[in-house]
Amino acid sequence: MERKEAKPKVRKGLWKPDEDLVLKTYVETHGEGNWSTVSKKSGLMRGGKSCRLRWKNYLRPNIKRGGMSQEEEDMIIRMHKLLGNRWSLIAGRLPGRTDNEVKNYWNTHLNKRLPSGKRMSTDSTPDQNKSKRLRVLGGSQPAGNTIPAGSTEELEGKSQEKGERSAVSDVRTQQAAQSMMNYYIESPMVPDNNATFVFDDEPFLAYWDSFVLFESIGCGGDC
């Protein structure tokens, strides 16, 4: 509470085209990262988070806009059965789609189709979502040999950004995880929509964690 610098006023609300242009130009010139300094250096009166979000969701190249295809929709439904509200992971399977877009699409289009279709998402409870963040999908794994959360694009970006730290490891593990997930998604184990499949983090997490462990041992420690 001590460091109370007179913060410059931060603009909020919808982004204007000229702000977009400034941000886009800035990021294309200087690259992503250091979002907190972007507003100062670019002259945008926006917070770092806001800049990051705007770039990630709208200005980044290869962003796909417009309605979801049937395949994308199907993928979202299946992935959601598997992962719950792990929007960034789900979005990672949909090239050009962002977590925010997937989340919105789920909440507005798909969620309401479900039998219990409420506006807000909560097939896994909010508390579960918070306490069981899937950072190895997330998780509280020890560093290394984990699958960083985020889209594959982000992963690639991260590997470079962090100095190739464990780029190879991450990518390999990621690939293994992807193929495993493909298997899991396409497997008859996963029933179709509306079946009585209740996603529960725990069993899948346990399975997943051991899979990741197995993979990291399996590659002989060089990954």
Structure tokens at 30: 């200087």
Compute the distance between CA of residue 5 and CA of residue 169 in angstroms, rounded to an integer: 42
Stretch that binds DNA, among 21-29, 40-48, 180-188, 212-220 (CB under 7 A): 40-48
Compute the distance between CA of residue 87 and CA of residue 184 in angstroms, rounded to an integer: 18
Compute the distance between CA of residue 57 and CA of residue 101 in angstroms, rounded to an integer: 8
- Taking the complex as a whole, how short is the minimal distance between the CB of residue 222 and DNA, in angstroms? 18
- Taking the complex as a whole, how short is the minimal distance between the CB of residue 55 and DNA, in angstroms? 9
Compute the distance between CA of residue 162 and CA of residue 214 in angstroms, rounded to an integer: 25
Other C-beta atoms within 10 Å of 60: how many? 15
From the number of C-beta atoms within 10 Å of its C-beta (0-12, 13-18, 19+), residue 5 rates as exposed
Instruction: Say if CB 79 and CB 97 are below 8 A apart.
Output: no
Contacts (CB under 7 A) with DNA, residues 104-163: 104-105, 107-109, 112, 120-122, 124, 126, 129-130, 133-135, 140-141, 143, 146, 149-151, 154, 157-158, 162
Using the minimum distance from each CB to DNA, give the nearer residue, 35 or 211. 35
Using the minimum distance from each CB to DNA, give the nearer residue, 146 or 215. 146
Instruction: Check binding of 208 to DNA (CB under 7 A).
Output: no
* Total residues interacting with DNA, rule: CB under 7 A: 57
Interface with DNA (CB under 7 A): 3, 11-15, 33-36, 46-50, 52-54, 57-58, 85-89, 99-101, 103-105, 107-109, 112, 120-122, 124, 126, 129-130, 133-135, 140-141, 143, 146, 149-151, 154, 157-158, 162, 165
